[in-house]
Structures are given as structure tokens and as C-alpha cells.
Amino acid sequence: MENLEQTCASLRAQIAATEAQLAGLKRDLGIAEQAAADVKAQDTARTIAEDKRSDNGTRKWPLLGEEYKRYGRQMIVPQLGLQGQLKLRSARVLIVGAGGLGCPAALYLAGAGVGTLGLVDGDTVENSNLHRQVLHRSKNVGKFKVDSAIEYLRELNPHPTYVPYRAHLTPQEAPDIFKDYDLILDCTDNPATRYLISDTAVLLGKPLVSASALRTEGQLMVLNYPPRPVGDKTGGPCYRCVFPKPPPANSVVSCADGGILGPVVGTMGVLQALEAIKVITSPTLNSSASPPSLLIFSAYSTPPFRTIRLRARRANCAVCSAEASVTLKTLKSGSTDYVFFCGVADLEATLSPEERISPLELRKKHPKEVPQDGGRLSKEPTIIDVREKVQFDICSLENSINIPISTILSSASSSTNADANAQPSLPSWLPTELASAESTDPIYVVCRLGNDSQMAVRRLKELGLDQGGQRYIGDIQGGLRAWREQIDPDWPEY
């Protein structure tokens, strides 16, 4: 048995090394392809520059002949016109995040003819991105998202200038990046970065189009518009005005955990591009804008859109009020700690090491035995899978019991009202065989990544299922992702 485990470990190590080498080759290929694309873009730019001059070196029309054909359908829209198109061509827009929101936003802004488009993202393309991040293709898996996106955008429209920033946004670098742009689009998916983007935009006087999407719902806001100076009450509210306090860290759900429908995030990204075009082509960038509002989209509601009016700037806002405590100096110095401000869900410390077991240790403790002489198989351990049913239906461990974490936690509040001296009543979702006081069989809890399972273990112990420590209740560390890495390489990765 030990030899087989060593062989498996050796093969996993070889696979990991090969995958690392493959990732390196993909990065090298991406750099080479990017260099080739840059050369091609330079040739295109040179051709465009030559076309801009007539024989005597003067321009007869404000746009190139090809541009009139390319943008003609939008230029005849009364709200845009030739002047609006010229504003788009001279505009500089920065998109932070080249994912589900950033891809459609960049696609339509490039198509509309925005003069300069900057993209900020330090991530690389993964297969799990492709169902919704429409600028990326299968062949670009492993390539920086900004490079993959710009490759597509250049094929769509060679006229704009595309500027890649192949790193995650930091407080120290954000001001220097933002200062060269007229308008910012927040296409990120975590609170810390959202506050950073909004703060930087306000301090530099840049309007901000912010959106978010999860599962089947999305939100959209145009912030700091009009972009008045700090302390000017006539300016548009910022992200801190709308959300003075960040949500609890353990309540923030990512697309990886909560899921997302591609058309939902695509809808919000397209709406961001639309709002950006409206801001750019308005009579003046600092003109009086419509009252600030929050647009809420719900794909499975009727009607799917509704709007909530937002208040003006808060009198005590930490960024845009006269009492501001966040400045460019605090940003660049690092004294404004966004991760600390938003909190960190330290779920890894929820349970003690004794209450956690790795998939490999679990398999050693409860080997899957096959009888040689018709003898009796050893009893399978009790495994509670706390993923939601929709995930449990995708794949599950053999003989595991599905009790969703939402069901487990929803019963916690009702039990807190009970007499403190009384034994906690057992909830209806708990199977009878687990509630039996006679059983001391261990219970192992598993989830997708090893976070929800820890909360479930705590709840089961609060209900007294561990019988005062006589019965082992613990979680499978790392969840089903670790199970795939350590036990079953064929386990579906979703």
C-alpha cells in the first residue's frame, strides 16, 4: 500500500512539474505573440497615420474615410453625432479588470472608437473563465488576460491605442496609472479593490462607472459624476458614500463560490460601456449629471430592471467630504490599508488541527477495502457534504449525505432563543442515525474548498453531536479540491 501511495505521489509531482513547464511555455508563447502583434499594430498605426494626410499634408475631413464607414451607424444617432465621435476618439478610458465585466465593456468601447483603452489585470486566462469572459479564447489559456483581451480588440478595431498593465492594482501604483485617463471603469470582484478604485478616482477627479454581478443579479452605478473637488457637495457620491462600511468578510461570495451566468455579467459589462459613452459624449465632462442612482438587474425577475435613487455626497465621507482622511499621500504611503479595512475572513483558524483531516489521512484511516474471501467490508465513514444541492448533484463522494450549509446555519438563530441551561433541540434536517446517542462513529464534513465545512463542524458540536468529546467530528481540510489533488485526479473540477 505504501509503495502504491509513493508511486501516486511521484506521479503527481511529475504532473505538477510538467504543468509548470507547460505554463512557462505558454507564457513564452504569449510574449512572442504579443511582440508580433505589437509589430503588426505599429504597421497599422503607420498606415493610419499616412492616411490622415492628404497630398499637401492638410486634413480635409476630421475623420478618416474608413472611420466614417466604421462608425457611421452610431454617428447618425442624434445623441452622438460627429462631435460625440470626435470626443470618443480623443477619450482615454481605463478598465480595471479584464474578466466577466471588463471583457464586454472593453469590446464595445473599442468598437465605438475610444481613442485610448487601458486594461489592468494581473491574472491569466483559465478554462473556467471562457463561458463568460468573451474576449478570451481556448488557445490563450495561461496567457495574461490583458494580452489576450488586447489581441482580440486589435482584430476588432486597430484604430485605438491599447495599453496593458499586467499586474493587480495597488494603492501605491493606482494614482500614477489613473492620472493619464479621463474615465475609470471598475470591473473587479472584491470589496478592497472597489474602495481603492473609488478613492483614487475621487482624489484625481475622475468619474467612475462601477458594476458587479453574481449568480443571476447585477448592480451598476456611475460615481463621482460630476467629478467635483474633494469637499464640494455638488459632486457625485463615491463608493464610500454608498457603502460607508464594507460587508462582513465572511459574507462576501465570489463567482467561484456562488456561480455566475455569462449573460448576466455580460449585461452589466455592456451597460458599463454604455454609461461610459454617455459620460464621454456629454456636452462637458463636468456638466450637471442626472441624479445618482443604483441600477439593479435580476435576470429571473419581472421586470428585470429597477432603479434606486442614491443620496448626494456624505458630509462625513472619508474621501470626498471636507473631513476627508484618505488622501493621495495616505494611498502612496500604504497607510490606507484596504485589506484591513474590508477585513479578512480567517476561516483557516476556525478549527484546531485536531479537528481537521486531509483527504489522504482520511483514506489511510478508512481504506477502501475489497474482501478477498467473501468477508465483510469495513463500515464506510459518515461524510456530510454541506455544498448546496445544485453542486452536490454535479458530483459527490460515494455514500455521502447532503445537508446544505444554508440549512445548517439557518437553524442557528432559532436555537439561540432557547433556555441556556437546556439541551439544544435537534433540528429536523439532522438524520436520525446521526442524532442517536448510542453511535460514536466519527463524522467528517466536506465542502468545496474547506471553508463552509468548518462552520458546519462548529454547529454540529454546538448541537452536542460530539457527545462531550467522545465522538470525533471534523472537516476534510481543503475540501473536494484537495480530494481531487490527493485522491481522485478524475474528480470534476468546476
Q: Just give the CATH number of 62-342.
A: 3.40.50.720
Give, for all 494 residues of the chain, the pLDDT tens digit: 667 777 877 888 888 788 878 877 777 776 777 666 666 655 555 555 555 554 445 568 899 999 999 999 999 999 999 999 999 999 999 999 999 999 999 999 999 999 999 999 999 999 999 999 999 999 999 999 999 999 999 999 999 999 999 999 999 999 999 999 999 999 999 999 999 999 999 999 999 999 999 999 999 999 999 999 999 999 999 999 999 998 876 667 777 778 899 999 999 999 999 999 999 998 765 555 678 999 999 999 999 999 999 999 999 999 999 989 999 999 999 888 898 888 754 544 578 999 999 999 999 998 876 555 555 555 678 999 999 999 999 999 998 999 999 899 886 544 444 454 555 578 889 888 887 777 788 999 999 989 899 999 999 999 888 888 889 999 999 999 999 999 999 999 88
**Binding-site positions:** 100, 121, 128-132, 145, 189-190, 238, 241, 317, 320
Distance in angstroms (rounded) separating the CA atoms of residues 160 and 469: 66
> Which residues are 93's β-sheet partners?
117, 183
The answer to whether the beta carbons of residues 48 and 64 sit under 8 Å apart is yes
Counting Cα atoms < 13 Å in the Cβ hemisphere of 259 gives 9
Specify which residues 209 forms β-bridges with: 185, 222
On whether the CB atoms of residues 171 and 331 are closer than 8 A, the answer is yes
The per-residue pLDDT for 253 is 75
Name the grid cell of 129.
473563465
103 is catalytic: no
**Binding site for Zn(2+), residues?**
238, 241, 317, 320
Closest CA to 184 of 93, 289, 284: 93
**Cut 0.95: pTM above it:** no
Q: Which CATH architecture has domain 353-411+427-487?
A: 3-Layer(aba) Sandwich (3.40)
Q: Give the active site residue among 187, 255, 342, 395.
A: 255
pLDDT at 251: 65
Report d(CA 172, CA 153) in Å as an integer: 29
Residue positions in the annotated binding site for ATP?
Answer: 100, 121, 128-132, 145, 189-190
Q: Would you call 255 a catalytic residue per the annotation?
A: yes
**3-state SS string over the chain?**
CHHHHHHHHHHHHHHHHHHHHHHHHHHHHHHHHHHHHHHHHHHHHHHHHHHCCCCCCCCCCCCCHHHHHHHHHHHCCCCCHHHHHHHHHHCEEEEECCCCCHHHHHHHHHHHCCCEEEEECCCECCHHHCCCCCCCCHHHCCCEHHHHHHHHHHHHCCCCEEEEECCCCCCCCHHHHHCCCCEEEECCCCHHHHHHHHHHHHHCCCCEEEEEEEECEEEEEEECCCCCCCCCCCCCCCHHHHCCCCCCHHHCCCHHHHCECHHHHHHHHHHHHHHHHHHHCCCCCCCCCCCCEEEEEECCCCCCEEEEECCCCCCCCCCCCCCCCCCHHHHHHCCCCHHHHHCCCCHHHCCCHHHEECHHHHHHHCCCCCCCCCCCCCCCCEEEECCCHHHHCCCCCCCCEECCHHHHHHCHHHHCCCCCCCCCCCCCCCCHHHHCCCCCCCEEEECCCCCHHHHHHHHHHHCCCCHHHCCCEEEECCHHHHHHHHCCCCCCCC
CB 423 within 8 A of CB 437: no
Q: Which three cell numbers stand for residue 140?
A: 490563450
Q: What is the pLDDT of residue 37?
A: 64
The domains of the chain are located at 62-342, 353-411+427-487
Set 103, 187, 342, 447: catalytic member: 447
